[in-house]
């Protein structure tokens, strides 16, 4: 069913372009490797996925090596006739560029790989969409050429903040202390 949707999407794209030759598109493949794969063999499985992409004409843009994670929910997969449940997996992703007619071959190979629990192939852009780790600060207001019209109001507010606020009069504070003392003693 998903395969039909992908085929229709590719056919629709070709009809819009008006070309018989497949265009190049950027994809990202996110995948979960089963935790039953030994930690030493995770690199072998990740390399197998990369080899698959390269063999179908893909060129790599970026990737993240699979890391062990706890899953948000239990994944059930039938492997060799037995239902198995997984609460952890090795998650990795690869961003690559490939002709659109080869992506179905990638999907078919990922479907038959028994060590891949789940995967997702999405169309994306070449540029990095990750949030930068540095914090960007706004420029200081002193760099503005003209002062805002409300500058007089903010100046008065600044002066009010600088003064020590008086919340309670001294007489009221004394009465309050006496009342508290009476309540404590009784």
- Walk along the chain (186 residues) in steps of 10 and give the mean pLDDT of each run: 53 47 88 92 94 94 94 89 92 94 93 93 82 57 52 59 58 77 74
Question: SS3 of 150, please?
Answer: coil
SS3 percent helix, strand, coil of the chain, rounded to 5, is: 40, 30, 30
What pLDDT is recorded for position 166?
Answer: 53
b vs e for 167-184, b when ≥16 Cβ sit within 10 Å of the residue's Cβ? eeeeeeeeeeeeeeeeee
pTM of model > 0.75? no
Say if residues 54 and 129 touch (Cβ distance below 8 Å).
no
Q: Which domains does the chain have, with CATH numbers?
A: 2-123 (3.30.70.60), 147-185 (no CATH)
DSSP string, 104-140: HHHHHHHHH-TTEEEEEEEE--SS--SPPSSPPPPPP
Given this model, what pLDDT does residue 180 score? 80
């Amino acid at each position: 069913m998903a395969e039909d949707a992908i085929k229709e999407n590719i056919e629709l794209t070709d009809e819009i372009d008006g070309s018989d030759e497949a265009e190049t598109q950027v994809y990202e493949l996110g995948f979960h490797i089963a935790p039953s794969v030994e930690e030493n063999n995770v690199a072998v499985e990740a390399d197998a996925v990369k080899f698959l992409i390269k063999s179908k004409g893909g060129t790599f843009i970026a990737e993240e090596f699979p890391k062990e994670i706890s899953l948000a929910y239990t994944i059930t997969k039938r492997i060799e006739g037995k239902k198995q449940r997984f609460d952890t997996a090795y998650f990795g992703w690869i961003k690559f560029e490939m002709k659109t007619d080869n992506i179905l071959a990638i999907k078919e190979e990922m479907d038959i790989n028994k060590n891949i629990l789940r995967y997702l192939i999405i169309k994306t852009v070449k540029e990095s969409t990750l949030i930068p780790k540095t914090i960007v600060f706004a420029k200081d207001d002193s760099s503005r050429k003209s002062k805002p019209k409300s500058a007089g109001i903010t100046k008065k507010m600044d002066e009010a903040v600088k003064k020590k606020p008086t919340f309670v009069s001294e007489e009221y504070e004394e009465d309050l202390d006496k009342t508290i003392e009476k309540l404590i003693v009784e």
